[in-house]
Structure 1
Amino acid sequence: MERDQLSRLAHADHPIAAPVGDDAVGRLLAHAVPRDGARVLDLGCGGGEWLLRALAAHPGLRAEGVDVSDAALSHARASAAERGVSGRLVLHREDAADFSAPHAFDLVVCVGSAHALGGLRAALDAARRHLAPGGRVLVGEGYWAREPSAEAVEMLGDLASLADTVDRITADGWAPVHGHISSRQELDAYEWAWTGALTTWALDHADDPDAAQALSVAAGHRDGWLRTYRDAWGFVSLVLRPSPVRGGHHLPGADPGR
């Protein structure tokens, strides 16, 4: 079974592919969408759930998503048709790092997909290239809530602490205007949904040639979460605006009173 198909099955019960609950998603979008007629871009959109919810909440909004997965984009198209928002959604099958558009966007979303662009700094650089004046960025990133084990770092990567993550973002010229730190309940609900949905599919399709693999992947993921990174991993979502301040100093020529 291909990786994108495994991911689609695993997110069946948690279509937001990040440990962020429905209420928090709504609040983040309320702060991130600057106006009803905004143009929104999701870099690494997957099944397009962030865009679909933004489109449903804002009838005048137009959205575009970029992803390399045919299966994820097909799922996004089907979901958009079911929700009646297809006419305001454009999807692009290409590498998000290479994507270019003839227009800028009022909001750029990159939640849980910074790795697809080469990391958090690269993702913010890409967002800046697409951002219209006065625009905002919605970014979601993992962090270490406490000192991780070497095994946890091997699994999830060389993340920073929450404070250092925010410092890196502000040093890069961004000002957080809203944020959400995922709760233990959100983190656990996401992992139980991921492993549970994949396990359920495998048990319900025991005769499928891919069932044994799906069951093994779910068990391995669950074991790694519970034994290796559950107590150390956190997730933060931030709404950002470009700032005239980098690393605590005003940029040359910037007016600090603005």
Structure 2
Amino acid sequence: MDIPRIFNITESAHRIHNPFSPEKLATLGAALRLESGARVLDLGSGSGEMLCTWAHDHGIIGIGVDISQLFTEQAKLRAEELGVTDKVKFIHGDAAGYVSDEKVNVAACVGATWIAGGVAGTIELLSQSLLTGGIILIGEPYWRQLPLTEDVARGCLANSISDFLMLPELLASFNRVGCDVIEMVLANQDDWDRYEAAKWLTMRRWLEANPNDEFAKDVRVKLTSEPERYATYTREYLGWGVFALMLR
């Protein structure tokens, strides 16, 4: 059970597996007015930066579930580094369908809503773990500007234009499924640069260390093409943010 190998390679040096800076993550934690002892569930927890830093800074108790064995191990190491192993637990497993044994104050899926077939399904899944009056966090892309053609959408690694909404439409979609939007923290192009461009050095270093690996050809193709693709498409067209919701 794991994610495709290319992600374990390209994002192996990432602490945050989304276009979000440590400062934005801290801003989000402060904006939610987290209290010590609050329970947080993170589905698709990656390398655990959100739970670990919030445990350190706010005293939350967290459980993270992620399908990447590498990222899960990195999350455990990060918990040790920040001295919060008594506050956070990381599970290597499929987050799809995961429901917490104990209800939580905050239920999050930040950048992995495919685990439940999209935003609406993920909100429904997270709500099953949520205390009454709790907060749902959804991390999701949106169009900064609407692509004029399907080829542009595919250049942003979407399947089609319909995969994402413009920001006002995304906010309206939360309303339609019975949620109040109570906060949002949005990525900017610098955040995208740090997320995407950091992969390029990681790929180059991996290629230097693994020249005879059977996967090296694929990594080489990706490293050669990604800077131009990213600058042409994703950087100009795609936004990303974390949206805090409460069920009505």
TM-score by length of 2: 0.87
Which of 180, 188, 193 does residue 198 from structure 2 map onto?
Answer: 193
Asked whether 1:180 is paired with 2:185, we answer yes
| Secondary structure in structure 2 of the residue aligned to 1:230 | helix
Q: Which residue of 2 aligns with 1:235?
A: 240
How far off its partner does 1:71 sit? 2.2
Q: Which residue of 1 aligns with 2:143?
A: 144
| Secondary structure in structure 1 of the residue aligned to 2:140 | strand
Q: Which amino acid aligns with 1:136?
A: I
Q: Which residue of 2 aligns with 1:11?
A: 11
Q: Which residue of 2 aligns with 1:74?
A: 73
Q: Which amino acid aligns with 1:52?
A: C
Q: Which residue of 2 aligns with 1:130?
A: 129
Residues of 1 paired with 2:32 and 2:209: CA distance? Answer: 39
Residues of 1 paired with 2:231 and 2:78: CA distance? Answer: 32
Q: Which residue of 2 aligns with 1:40?
A: 40
Does the 8 Å contact 2:3/2:68 carry over to 1?
Answer: no
Q: Which residue of 2 aligns with 1:217?
A: 222
Residues of 1 paired with 2:205 and 2:236: CA distance? Answer: 25
How far off its partner does 1:233 sit? 0.8
Does the 8 Å contact 1:140/1:236 carry over to 2?
Answer: yes
| Secondary structure in structure 2 of the residue aligned to 1:81 | helix
| Secondary structure in structure 2 of the residue aligned to 1:87 | coil
When structure 1 is superposed on structure 2, of 137-146 and 26-35 the one drifting more is 26-35
Q: How many residues align?
A: 241
1:39-61 Cα offsets, whole Å, 9 max, x none, are: 110011122221111111123x2
When structure 1 is superposed on structure 2, of 149-158 and 170-179 the one drifting more is 149-158
RMSD after superposition? 2.2
Asked whether 1:30 is paired with 2:30, we answer yes
Does the 8 Å contact 2:12/2:71 carry over to 1?
Answer: no
When structure 1 is superposed on structure 2, of 32-41 and 220-229 the one drifting more is 220-229
1:192-240 Cα offsets, whole Å, 9 max, x none, are: 1123322233235445554443232333433432333332111122122
TM-score by length of 1: 0.84
Residues of 2 paired with 1:37 and 1:17: CA distance? Answer: 25
Q: Which amino acid aligns with 1:230?
A: R
How far off its partner does 1:166 sit? 0.6
Residues of 2 paired with 1:82 and 1:58: CA distance? Answer: 16
Structure 1, unmatched stretches of 5+, are: 244-258
When structure 1 is superposed on structure 2, of 218-227 and 34-43 the one drifting more is 218-227
Q: Which residue of 2 aligns with 1:168?
A: 173
| Secondary structure in structure 1 of the residue aligned to 2:183 | strand
Q: Which amino acid aligns with 2:158?
A: L
Does the 8 Å contact 2:110/2:138 carry over to 1?
Answer: yes
Does the 8 Å contact 2:34/2:58 carry over to 1?
Answer: no
Structure 2, unmatched stretches of 5+, are: none
Q: Which amino acid aligns with 2:231?
A: L
Q: Which amino acid aligns with 2:53?
A: R
| Secondary structure in structure 2 of the residue aligned to 1:96 | coil
Residues of 1 paired with 2:175 and 2:221: CA distance? Answer: 41
How far off its partner does 1:82 sit? 2.5
1:53-88 Cα offsets, whole Å, 9 max, x none, are: 1111123x2110112222221222222223222222
| Secondary structure in structure 2 of the residue aligned to 1:156 | coil
